[in-house]
Amino acid sequence: MAKERFFLELEPSDAEMKRWPHVVIVGGGFAGLKAAHRLAGKPVRVTLVDKRNFNLFQPLLYQVASGLVSEADVATPLRQMLAKAANVQVLLGEVVDLDPTAREVVFNDRRLRYDSLILATGSGSTYFGHEEWRELAPPMKILEHADEIRRRLLSALEEAEQTPDPDRCRFLQSVVVVGGGPSGCELAGSINELMRHASRRDFRHLDPRVCRVVLVDPGDRVLRAMDPVLSKAAADYLGSRGVELVLGGRVQSIEAGRLTVAFKSPPPGAPAERVLEAATICWSAGVRASHLGRLLADRTGCAVDRGGRVVVEPDFSIAGHPEIRIVGDLCTYTHTIDGKPLPGMAGPAVQMGGWVALDLLAQLKGQRQPPFRWFDFGSMAVIGPLCAVADLRGLKFTGPLGWLLWGLAHLAFMPDNENRITLLTKWLWMIATNQSASLLITGRSDQHMGVEVGLERAERERDSLAEPAAA
């Protein structure tokens, strides 16, 4: 296996640069990109490795799924974002192994040595032991997932347009969203608006009154992480727009076009199970860390929690390996004032990545960085056109004002100015016309759901090689 040399070592623009320490960042999401930006132009050589060549603004994936915006509006090429940093290189590839002793990462059949390693590979979706549900109920973690949800949704409406059978038409115009967190509420609200407006405006034979969107969650309310007042406001709004809430039940089974929900304590006279039939089923109920966390645990013996997140020290390192830092959704950080782990959101990820980069630079100068302190800006979720709920450090907002604050926050976190402009333009167009901008059916049913997140592909290859030997 060939050893990969940092490209600046081949023809360095500055002889001094050859002696700079090498920082490898794995993952170009919120945390990894922030770390790279903080290290840009500093006396370190930086290699950013990602299996994709773009940074994805994941909080707006639901808008891609519901056709409000296009893929390019929420994704920006990493090379474009770091082009002005002479000390940073971007390499396309998936890290499949680590050698902490040699301080090397393995990807593309190459070994790349590091002085410091920042792992920021994020998270994927979990089906709680039922991976067979993945193809029947796509998650919403990467662009291909959002594309697939949109393809299934619009294809169902197209078929319903040509279906004379009213029962079949009702089935095709039904959607079930599993998970009542921010992603689930945002997806359910946007799909509901799309279906009702599209069936009224763009299709000649569809009845918008037949459209049905059901949101399923095992809790007693949606948005359980937010204040009950905001949860109620969100539930009331979704209900007023026609979204049906099925709370207090867990998914027992998913088949093609059919989902069964079981209730542990059903109301008197209510059945213990309920079957929901819908042409489109979406999953936003579970999150698990990238498989790189468990791989790191195998190689170093570090601790991981039940979700596969790496338990880190106050400086985001792991025991015995101060040169390895874990940030973003891949880590579980409990060194907070109240001892609660940092939430898996964009805000904490950005702050983690920025702090670790500054800490590495402080170490080069023989200095100590002040301890990490997370600044909690609050939480928010958009649930419909010009309607959102927001809790900003105890200040609660709902309706149009909540939506305005949500929009400003998301535009501020958007890392690319061009995307800020296009998003603002499309949002204003949607408000003025009630029209979605990107209602395209692309791809085939077999193109998206095989896309892997994390190291599933590498693990499956290892399992397939082991099976003949075991036999």
**Enzyme catalytic residues:** 186
User: b vs e for 46-80, b when ≥16 Cβ sit within 10 Å of the residue's Cβ?
Assistant: bbbbbbbebbbbbbbbbbbbbbbbebebbbbbbee
Give dist(CA 393, CA 397) in Å, integer.
11
Torsion over CA: 99, 310, 217, 409 (sign): negative
Q: What share of the chain is helix, strand, coil (3-state, %, to 5)?
A: 35, 25, 40
Nearest to 287 by CA among 332, 318, 244, 245: 332
Q: Which of 46, 51, 49, 43 is nearest to 14 (CA)?
A: 43
Q: In which residue are the tokens 């939480």 written?
A: 379
Q: How far apart are CA 326 and CA 356, in angstroms?
A: 9
Helices 399-413, 417-433: inter-axial angle, 10-degree rounding: 160
CA distances from 97 to 32, 109, 268, 415 (A): 18, 10, 54, 29
Residues in the chain: 471
Task: Check if the beta carbon of residue 23 is closer than 8 Å to that of residue 44.
Answer: yes
Q: Is 279 within 8 Å of 158 (Cβ atoms)?
A: no
Cβ burial 184-210 (10 Å sphere, 16+ → b, else e)? bbbbbbbbbbbbbbbbeeebeebeeeb
Tokens 């407006």 belong to residue: 197
Identity (one letter) of the amino acid at 55?
Answer: N
Q: Which helix (H) or strand (E) holds 314?
A: none
Helix (H, G, I), strand (E, B) or coil at 23: strand
Rounded distance between C-alpha atoms, residue 273 and residue 322, angstroms: 51
Q: How far apart, in whole angstroms, are the C-alpha atoms of residue 172 and residue 156?
A: 5
CA distances 467 to 295, 460, 464, 471, Å, are 20, 11, 5, 6
